[in-house]
Amino acid sequence: MKNIAIQCRLGVLLCLLTAVAGCYKDKGNYAYQVTNAVLVSDTLTRGIKAINKGDTLVLTPAVSQTMVSGDANLSYEWSFTTLNGGSTLRRILAHTKQLKAVMDSNFVLGFSYVLTYKVTDNNSGESVFLKYNISIGNKYSQGWMLLEDKGGTTDFSMILPDGEVVHDVYSTLNGVVLADKPVRMQISTFLVSDGVNEASRKLYLLMEHGGMEIDYTKMSRRYDYGGLFYTAPAVIQPTYTGFPSSATSMGSAINNGKLYINAAGPFPGIKKWGGALVSPENKLNYELAPFVISGPGINGNVYPVVVYDKVGKRFCGVSGTGASLDSFARGASTLFDMNHTGMDLIYMDNSPAGQANAFMKDATGQVQFCRFRMSYTAVDSVLTLMKQPVNDAAIAGMHTAASSLMSDHIFYGTGNKVYRYEPASNTTALQYSFPANEQVTIIKCPMPLADAPQVAVVTWDGTQSRLYLFYINAMGGIDSYSVVYGGFGKVADAEYKFRY
Amino acid sequence: MQSKPISFLSILLPLLALLHTGCTKEKALMYEDDPRVYFKKYNVAHDSVNYSFAVKDPAQLVDSVYLQLRIMGNARPYDREINIQLSDTSTARQGYHFVLGPQIMPAGQYETKIPVYLYRRAGLKDSTITADFIIGASKDFQPGYDDLPTVAVTNRLHYKISMDDRLVKPERWDGMLAPYFGAWSLVKLNFMIRATGRLDWTVLIYPNELSNLSQLSREAMSMYVAANGPLIDENGAVVEFP
């Protein structure tokens, strides 16, 4: 029995020791065995890879291993999921080290996809991944668009990034000829969410008695002009339709001389243009020039939109609610009266600093350069910044202009010449003279392109329009053009179409 | 000394039993209280609803609003009764001004919406009446929980429906409509309804559409004033939009 008692004591002791062992802290002193690591990389994983539908996507990521030479132990998988439409369906594309895949019917035009590259070490079973973002476009995704008057009908051509010129793009893609004279072509400066379609840049084509929104990717007609409004205006004569600034997300349309607003901020619901805004007198007693200035935002002491009333010879602002045209406070005007300039507006746009540049002609025929801002403070309510006569005989004949986005200069066209105006010195300088029979009709300064900032100049010689591209030099001017494209109908407007 | 091994065993066995308890799987702590039900209230489902037939088509004589209810405890595989009572403070008469739909929590559900059918009666033209509902005990549910001790204290055992047939100030006027339309007046709201064709101003309206409604109202007012002169409201003030 004594042995039994001892065994029992030992048993209890053993149990207690076992229980106490659970309280022992594991210090984790292990000897780790280094295993093979697979390394994959590709600079194309940064940003979005754009590719046209029907083209072949070739991806060649770099693959290496830390302990194994060769790649006999590796297996590969390329798969993709769509980013659009809420679907996350995953499909296998290939099992090859490098990808060479045609963007076929599995990929929808205008959609974006996440493409996943998986490399597995078959010895360890470990996998590493790369992710690519790809966007499916077409040959019309990017390039200069030229809106043409072709004997009273409207169409547009495109100059693609590789220099290829494609004529009659609208009629080719839509199968119809637009029997109306062109007025303007406008592209939003940012991706607009209208509550119906996928957010994208908005492309509007305006004609004398109609217009439309064009699908930015497919380049097909999406909505007639009247369909862009809650209630279609009785008279459709659009001169401006666009979303000029992401700072306000406020669309402006000038139709039949009246302003319509489309507040497209980051809130739910369908976004359309509303009713015509009334004047500061709560009347429709105004007619707007075809220019819209964008302010720096919609909240606080700002005017998100500023326009010019040709009847009242005055600027008008729009508040953040986009409800009506407002006159400016008494303290806003010092250099000229914003509420009654007594001048005719020749041209107006935003300066690179976000202020407004305006060329105006006073009662004596003198051209004045005016500049104002769209924001103010409680202690500084002055909006007017500059008013000075421009003493250059050629400026009186100005019929097109564009503020440079690279420096404080404005390019303008008179006759067959392009000039540059410098507000700081109040001087003009001849930049380029075209042949005498070529009249400068349009100047555009698009957002800087990938290679260098450009100025586009369109001319008309009575039989054809040409587009000249100039690079902006270090002094903010232009010298000789880099390339010219010809053979266009009479170009009414030109815009650069960015891929996104 | 015969008892010593027994005493060791008496220590050893409980000890082993204790150690063994560490190997048993712990059951999840589950709610096993008696089932309860309460009004589901969030920012989009207010404590009360103001309903006006005045903004509806004149031919519409009945409409419905919904009481949203949610239970505490688990769903059951059979329909269960809910007991919604009418408080003594109510001025609306059940069966005349309104009728409650079936008070049932469907089988397998945690939430339900019970319709309240509202009737357009003559007396609503000159008075606003209320139906004050309280959650009562039923054979299947006890009243659920009441106020939440948070910033937004919400009474989840009561719900009030106000109804009339005259234009009243929309409950969202000050927060949602005032920036676009200014101070409220009955004449102004009547004018806005005629100008825009919109009848219901009590629901959430997004800024884009608000902007459109404001523009239409202003445009209509400019034409009205040109033809008739200023529009004067019930307070003697000129109807204007800011």
Q: Supply the DSSP string of A83-94, one letter for each residue.
A: -STT---EEEEE
Which range of A71-85, A449-463, B28-42, B124-138 scores highest in mean pLDDT? It is B124-138
Intra-chain end-to-end CA distance of chain A, in Å: 92
How far, in Å, CA of B105 to CA of A404, rounded?
68
Which residues in chain B are contacts of A11 at CB distance < 8 A?
8, 12
Q: Average pLDDT in the A52-64 region?
A: 92
- Residues with Cβ within 8 Å of residue A129, at least 6 apart in sequence: A40, A116, A117, A118, A119
Instruction: Name the residue among A4, A8, A323 with its Cβ closest to that of B215.
Output: A323
pLDDT of residue A153 exceeding 80, the answer is yes
Extract the tokens encoding A410.
Answer: 């404005």
How far, in Å, CA of B168 to CA of B146, rounded?
30
Query: Is the CB of B218 less than 8 angstroms away from the CB of A322?
Result: no
Q: What ipTM did this prediction achieve?
A: 0.73
Question: Rg of chain A's alpha carbons, rounded to an integer?
Answer: 32
Extract the tokens encoding B32.
Answer: 């096993």
How far, in Å, CA of A489 to CA of A458, rounded?
11
User: B221 and B241 in contact (C-beta within 8 Å)?
Assistant: yes
pLDDT of residue A382 exceeding 90, the answer is yes
Query: Is the CB of A275 less than 8 angstroms away from the CB of B216?
Result: yes
Q: Check residue B202 and give its pLDDT.
A: 81
pLDDT of residue B25 exceeding 60, the answer is no
Helical (H) or strand (E) element with A418: strand A417-422
How far, in Å, CA of B156 to CA of B69, rounded?
9
Query: Is the CB of B1 less than 8 angstroms away from the CB of A322?
Result: no
Q: Check residue B2 and give its pLDDT.
A: 47
Strand A238-242, strand A258-263: pairing: unpaired
Q: Check residue B9 and give its pLDDT.
A: 62
- Strand spans (E) along A143-290: 143-150, 153-159, 165-166, 182-187, 203-207, 210-214, 221-224, 238-242, 250-255, 258-263
Q: b/e map of A167-185 (b: 16 or more CB within 10 Å)? A: bebbbebbeeebebbbbbb
Q: Check residue B147 and give its pLDDT.
A: 61
Q: Check residue B42 and give its pLDDT.
A: 63
Q: Is A331 on the interface with B (CB under 8 A)?
A: no
pLDDT band at B151 (very low <50, low <70, confident <90, very high): very low
Nearest one of A428, A422, A429, A486 to A457, comparing CA atoms: A486
Q: Check residue A44 and give its pLDDT.
A: 87
Q: Which amino acid is at A450?
A: A
Question: Cα dist. A250→A253, A265, A352 in Å?
Answer: 10, 7, 19
Would the CA dihedral through A14, A16, A21, A22 be positive or negative? Answer: positive
pLDDT band at A405 (very low <50, low <70, confident <90, very high): confident
pLDDT band at B3 (very low <50, low <70, confident <90, very high): very low
Q: Check residue A216 and give its pLDDT.
A: 92
pLDDT band at A19 (very low <50, low <70, confident <90, very high): low
Give CB contacts under 8 A, 24+ apart, made by A409-418. A409/A476, A409/A477, A410/A357, A410/A359, A411/A443, A411/A445, A411/A455, A411/A478, A412/A347, A412/A359, A412/A443, A413/A440, A413/A441, A413/A442, A413/A443, A413/A457, A414/A440, A415/A439, A415/A440, A416/A440, A416/A459, A418/A443, A418/A457, A418/A478
Q: Could you tell me the residue ranges of all domains in chain A? A: 38-137, 143-256+289-497
Intra-chain end-to-end CA distance of chain B, in Å: 105
Q: Check residue B47 and give its pLDDT.
A: 65
pLDDT of residue A89 exceeding 80, the answer is no
pLDDT of residue A22 exceeding 70, the answer is no
Q: Is A135 on the interface with B (CB under 8 A)?
A: no
pLDDT band at A49 (very low <50, low <70, confident <90, very high): confident
User: A184 and A492 in contact (C-beta within 8 Å)?
Assistant: yes
pLDDT of residue B28 exceeding 60, the answer is no
Assigned fold of A38-137: Immunoglobulin-like (2.60.40)
Q: Average pLDDT in the A437-445 region?
A: 96
Sheet holding A127-137, edge to edge: A48-52, A127-137, A112-121, A74-82, A90-94
Q: Average pLDDT in the B120-141 region?
A: 93
pLDDT of residue B104 exceeding 70, the answer is yes
How far, in Å, CA of A262 to CA of B123, rounded?
43
CATH 2.60.40.1510 location in chain B: 36-164
Give pLDDT tens digits for B169-190: 888 899 899 999 999 999 999 9
pLDDT band at A333 (very low <50, low <70, confident <90, very high): very high
Strand A165-166, strand A153-159: pairing: antiparallel
- Greater confidence (B192 vs A499) lies with B192
How far, in Å, CA of A158 to CA of B106, rounded?
62
User: B84 and B136 in contact (C-beta within 8 Å)?
Assistant: yes
pLDDT band at B32 (very low <50, low <70, confident <90, very high): low
How far, in Å, CA of A224 to CA of A211, rounded?
6
How far, in Å, CA of B16 to CA of B22, rounded?
10
CATH architecture for segment(s) A143-256+289-497: 7 Propeller (2.130)
Q: Check residue B1 and give its pLDDT.
A: 42
How far, in Å, CA of B220 to CA of B45, rounded?
34
Q: B-side interface with A, Cβ within 8 Å?
A: 1-2, 4-5, 8-9, 11-12, 15-16, 19, 179-180, 206-216, 218-219, 221-222, 225-226, 240-242
Q: What percent of chain B has pLDDT over 90?
A: 58
How far, in Å, CA of A145 to CA of A159, rounded?
7
Instruction: Name the residue among B9, B209, B219 with its Cβ closest to that of A278.
Output: B219
pLDDT of residue A24 exceeding 80, the answer is no
- Greater confidence (A437 vs A264) lies with A437
Q: Check residue B148 and give its pLDDT.
A: 56
The residue of chain B with its CA nearest to that of A285 is B222
pLDDT band at A37 (very low <50, low <70, confident <90, very high): very high
Mean pLDDT of chain A: 90
**Range with lowest mean pLDDT among A21-30, A136-145, A229-238, A482-491:** A21-30
pLDDT of residue B11 exceeding 70, the answer is no
pLDDT of residue A493 exceeding 60, the answer is yes
A residues 7-36 lying closer than 8 A (beta carbon) to B: 8-9, 11-12, 15-16, 19
Give CB contacts under 8 A, 24+ apart, made by A14-19. A15/B12, A15/B15, A15/B16, A15/B19, A16/B15, A19/B19
- Greater confidence (A228 vs A246) lies with A228
Q: b/e map of B95-105 (b: 16 or more CB within 10 Å)? A: eebbebeebeb
User: A212 and A205 in contact (C-beta within 8 Å)?
Assistant: yes
Q: Which amino acid is at A43?
A: T
Q: What percent of chain A has pLDDT over 70?
A: 92
> Min CA distance, A272 vs chain B (Å)?
7
- Residues with Cβ within 8 Å of residue A169, at least 6 apart in sequence: A140, A145, A155, A156, A157, A158, A219
CATH code, residues B36-164: 2.60.40.1510
Q: Check residue A320 and give its pLDDT.
A: 81
